Amino acid sequence: MLEPAVFGALVVGLVQLALTLAVAPLLLGVTKRVKARLQYRQGPPLLQPYRDLAKWWAKQPVESDAASRLTGAAPAIVLAAVVVATLLVPIVGARPPLDGWGDLLVVVGLMALGRFVLALSALDAGSAFGGMGSSREVAIATLVEPALLLALAGAALAAGSTDLGQIAALGIASGSAWYTPPLLLAAGAFAIVAVAETGHEPVDNPDTHLELTMIHEGMVLEASGPRLAILMYAAELKLVLVAGLFAAAFLPAGIALDLTPLSLLVAIAAALAKLIGAAAILGVLDASLAKLRILALPGLLATASIVAAVGLAARLWLPA
């Protein structure tokens, strides 16, 4: 017989796992629908991403003659890294499903692992487009990851811990006092990073297949069949991860602190509202902004690092 605390944690973990896995394709549908409506188009149905995944899964894969075993193993590794990272983030309850298995540094490391394996698999196919997309992705990552760590460090310093559950719980307990100027600067920096991590305007165009503009699409261009379905689903789930990470660190309101049915219902509704809101914001950005030139991206991403560093310095050296 499981203890009540263990049973409750198991229930919350299963609820978060089911919610995040089920809603990930829907968020892509929301983004595309918002973008289409702002461009005065009808756009695809909200459930079209689910149909696309089913269609790709049913097709026979086609692989390059130059591909090694890495090409076959990469989709599973990328998806596993994103799923485990998502389970380390408190999205429904203050205690994430894998509570105690890792903190925000582990989450950032798993995100880097998924990016690294995806870039390697794109190079493994021997395609010029894959090499171009991988080189651009790695170049952007060198600017994104410092900004991401600095932004999360601001929230960790405010909570006195790198544990995301403790950060979210303290944020809820602090109420409006949680939103200090240093934390707001860190949140602004994270927002820029989130756009880059999820591959949206003005950093990347998720709908393009032009060799001069594509980044993520270039890395999955050689994938087909179930491998393509897994990689695309991992990309959709990454939006859940990034939005959940932002909510846990900077917008924790609504996360359940106890295990009562009412708290869980409120937490599920709040999580859905945050995720759908993030998807809608990305749709607005895709419709209203143009993609920046590759040479202009370092300036944007360096700005995120500078803003996060200023917030961190203000937290360390200015009086509370």
Transcribe 159-206 into DSSP letters: HT-S-HHHHHHHHHHHGGGG--HHHHHHHHHHHHHHHHHHT-TTT--T
pLDDT, residue 76, reads 96
Helices (H), 88-127: 104-124
DSSP element (H, E) containing 157 = helix 128-159
What is the C-alpha separation between 168 and 60, in angstroms, rounded? Answer: 44
pLDDT, residue 293, reads 84
pLDDT, residue 46, reads 94
Please, what is the average pLDDT of the chain?
90
**pLDDT at 211 exceeding the cut of 90:** no
**pLDDT at 163 exceeding the cut of 90:** yes
pLDDT in tens, 5-40: 666 678 888 999 999 999 999 999 999 999 999 999
Surface-to-core class of residue 246, CB atoms within 10 Å of its CB (0-12 exposed, 13-18 middle, 19+ buried)? buried
pLDDT in tens, 291-320: 888 888 899 999 999 999 999 999 888 765
SS3 content of the chain, % helix, strand, coil (to 5): 75, 0, 25
204 backbone φψ class: left, alpha, beta (φ>0; ψ -120 to 50): beta
pLDDT, residue 5, reads 61
Q: Output the CA angle 230-236-239, nearest 5 degrees.
A: 140
**pLDDT at 134 exceeding the cut of 80:** yes
Contact call for residues 117 and 219 (beta carbons, < 8 A)? no
Contact call for residues 123 and 129 (beta carbons, < 8 A)? no
DSSP state of 295: G
pLDDT in tens, 216-244: 777 888 889 999 999 999 999 999 999 99
pLDDT, residue 239, reads 96
**pLDDT at 2 exceeding the cut of 60:** no
pLDDT in tens, 244-284: 999 999 999 999 988 788 989 999 999 999 999 999 999 99
**Would the CA dihedral through 207, 210, 216, 219 be positive or negative?**
positive
